[in-house]
Structure 1
């Protein structure tokens, strides 16, 4: 069959016309996924600040501002401070990775990092799970892998 006569084949590159449309659609998907990564990163950062309440209670226990009948209240306060700081730090770090993955999706760089962050996002019910699954589906498509390889 002559490729010049078949309308489903692009005569310039000899590729099916549907793959050209798929690339434009994949670019739009990557753009939207990037925006949603920024939104989920903001939500994650907000929720990671919830342990600030425990941090304040721990500081009050250590400084003596909170009256406690137990002499070991300062030790418990240090546990409150340590765990709160740990959870806040991990949450903000993860939010930073999500935002960075969104930037990498927009620039079509660091395919493996985007895959790892998308897999980790699946643990965050419900928004992270939805975003992670859609990101994994999009990133495993061969045309999208080619877009990352070209960049």
Structure 2
């Protein structure tokens, strides 16, 4: 049985997809910087008791205690952003080298959680990596790599 013909555009689409993964990983780092900036501002706001002394209405909660609980959200979002950025970078490298297609498909699902750009990246990755011609490109790359070392 003859393998399906390989459209010439698939290689270019994979190259573009890998670049988009690199850009998305970079945006995760920018997101971490924003998260740190936001944490600093909120820490300054909630951590300063003098801001709340002149409040005319009684506070329904203690701002310091509220922020203490909120720190866990910053930590969780920071870890999620860092891990997903690293995994997206690795996935981009795998797409560039045309190896570990399953890993890239799983990371595409994870990227769908990053609204809106990650969702677009994840959907386009899923669409492209499930095409028969792209599966054939990955198989060719694997065959070429395995015969080079044999």
Q: TM-score normalized by structure 2?
A: 0.70
Of 28-37 and 85-94, the range deviating more from structure 2:
85-94
The CA RMSD over aligned residues, in Å, is 2.9
Q: How does 1:2-151 map to 2 (within 5 A)?
A: 19-20=5-6, 22=7, 24-56=8-40, 66-67=49-50, 73-149=63-139, 150-151=141-142
Misfit runs of 4+, over 6 Å: none
In structure 1, distance between residues paired with 2:85 and 2:24: 8
Shift, 1:32, TM fit: 0.7
Shift, 1:128, TM fit: 1.9
Paired residues, number: 134
Q: For residue 121 of structure 2, give the secondary structure of its aligned residue in structure 1.
A: helix
* Structure with the bigger percentage of helix: 2
Q: For residue 19 of structure 1, give the secondary structure of its aligned residue in structure 2.
A: coil
Per-residue displacement from partner, 1:73-105 (whole Å, max 9, x unpaired)? 543332232221221111111111111111110
- Structure label with greater radius of gyration: 1
Q: For residue 114 of structure 2, give the secondary structure of its aligned residue in structure 1.
A: coil
In structure 2, distance between residues paired with 1:143 and 1:125: 29
Q: 1:109 to 1:46 in 2, by over 3 A?
A: same
Of 116-125 and 31-40, the range deviating more from structure 2:
116-125
